[in-house]
Amino acid sequence: MTSNVHQLIDTLPKAELHLHIEGTLEPEMMLALAKRNKITLPYDTVEDVRAAYQFDNLQDFLDVYYLGMSVLIEERDFHDLTWAYLTKVHADGLTHAEIFFDPQAHMERGIAFETVLAGITSALEQAHRELGISSKLIMCFLRHLSEEEAFDTLACACKHKDHIFAVGLDSSEQGHPPEKFERVFAEARKEGFVAVAHAGEEGPPENVANSLDLLGVSRVDHGNSALKDAALTQRLAQQQTPLTMCPISNLRLKGIPDLSAAPVKKALEANLLVTVNSDDPSYFGGYLNDNYRAVADALTLTEPQIVTLARNSFKASFLEDSEKQTQLDRIDAQVARLRPA
């Protein structure tokens, strides 16, 4: 891969649309927060933590992920976590982020919904003031928990519509199909929330189709398996339904054997509105630009394809049309600056 492509990746404005804020907890911060909050972990050193980041599947990761977030207790912990992510990806050219958070995983530990939300939103507001990064917050339901618990969590979100833009669905896909949450999503949309959902990461194409038809999602998170179904692929292309793909995540969770099997290029060639994102970058070893560079190298993506991915990140976002156009114009200006005279 030419250095020109890497330079392009490093300097293009981008949005990230598939990012779990709890998945940005770096080992150093995990240990520091454990000490600050007097939480006992089964790890003594950063090396111990990183050694635990060897996963055979999604559930292996989730076990470590939920253990890691046990150190998040106070409002300032959630602020520090979110601010650390935003300052890191600001250097990657990030100008807009649509961030998932998992309140149920904290509430079942006795942490108040408002504590989690206040910490995250204070960092988002600081990033907007000081770094120029705009953001939307997406509250996810944990799909391994019950519909009843999801309804309780939705009730909490309804008190904070000024801060929460959308609802999502994450955690273990196997055994927890979209239809389990059809009623919750109908109520969420009625309350004015936009809907997204993880589908097609480990599950079949039917999970993608049912997320569209039963949950009413505006965007599909992952969506990899959709490309196994020609009719569904054609539908996604015609409707320009965004897919938020996460290549390094797929590799680390053994959803693909190597990055050359990542479906990003195939999705581009099928005219899908595909985006590249980092998912849980601390645990998977790659932030936003790492994912761009990894697929650029493995799939031999061209400079125009890289530009398309960056443009797609804003087209697929929940920004207002005028804001999208401002960001697209910034991409065009950067491409022009890099073009040889």
The answer to whether residues 276 and 247 touch, using CB atoms and an 8 Å cutoff, is yes
The one-letter code for the residue type at 224 is N
Tokens of 181: 């949450």
What string of DSSP letters covers 282-329?
HHHT--HHHHHHHHHHHHT--HHHHHHHHHHHHHTS-S-HHHHHHHHH
- Provide the 10 A C-beta neighbour count for residue 247: 28
Quick check: pTM over 0.85?
Answer: yes
What string of DSSP letters covers 190-231?
HTT-EEEEEESSSS-HHHHHHHHHTS--SEEEE-GGGGG-HH
**Strands across the sheet containing 194-199:** 14-20, 94-101, 134-142, 166-170, 194-199, 219-222, 243-245, 274-276
In this structure, are strands 243-245 and 219-222 parallel, antiparallel, or unpaired?
parallel
- Provide the 10 A C-beta neighbour count for residue 28: 12
Give the bridge partners for 169, in sequence order: 141
The answer to whether residues 274 and 245 touch, using CB atoms and an 8 Å cutoff, is yes
For the stretch 182-221, pLDDT in tens is 999 999 999 999 999 999 999 999 999 999 999 999 999 9
Q: How far apart are CA 61 and CA 51, in angstroms?
A: 12
For the stretch 84-125, pLDDT in tens is 999 999 999 999 999 999 999 999 999 999 999 999 999 999
Which listed residue (16, 22, 201, 206) is catalytic? 201
The answer to whether residues 166 and 196 touch, using CB atoms and an 8 Å cutoff, is yes
- Tokens 């111990």 -> residue: 48
Tokens of 222: 């992952």
pLDDT of residue 23: 97
- State what percent of residues in the chain have pLDDT above 90: 96
Q: What are phi and psi of 123, to 5 degrees?
A: -70, -40
Residue 3 — very low, low, confident or very high, per pLDDT cuts 50/70/90? confident
Average pLDDT of span 268-272? 98
E strands of the chain, at which residues?
Answer: 14-20, 94-101, 134-142, 166-170, 194-199, 219-222, 243-245, 274-276
Average pLDDT of span 14-21? 98
Average pLDDT of span 221-250? 98
Q: Is 173 a catalytic residue?
A: no
Residue 2 — very low, low, confident or very high, per pLDDT cuts 50/70/90? low
Q: How far apart are CA 214 and CA 207, in angstroms?
A: 10
The chain-wide mean pLDDT, for the chain, equals 96
Domains detected in the chain: 3-338 (3.20.20.140)
Cα dihedral 34, 91, 224, 163 sign = positive
Check whether 339 has a pLDDT greater than 90: no
For the stretch 31-80, pLDDT in tens is 999 999 999 999 999 999 999 998 989 899 999 999 999 999 999 999 99
The SS3 call for residue 146 is coil
Q: How far is CA 74 from the centre of its chain?
A: 23
CA atoms within 13 Å, Cβ hemisphere of 203 = 25
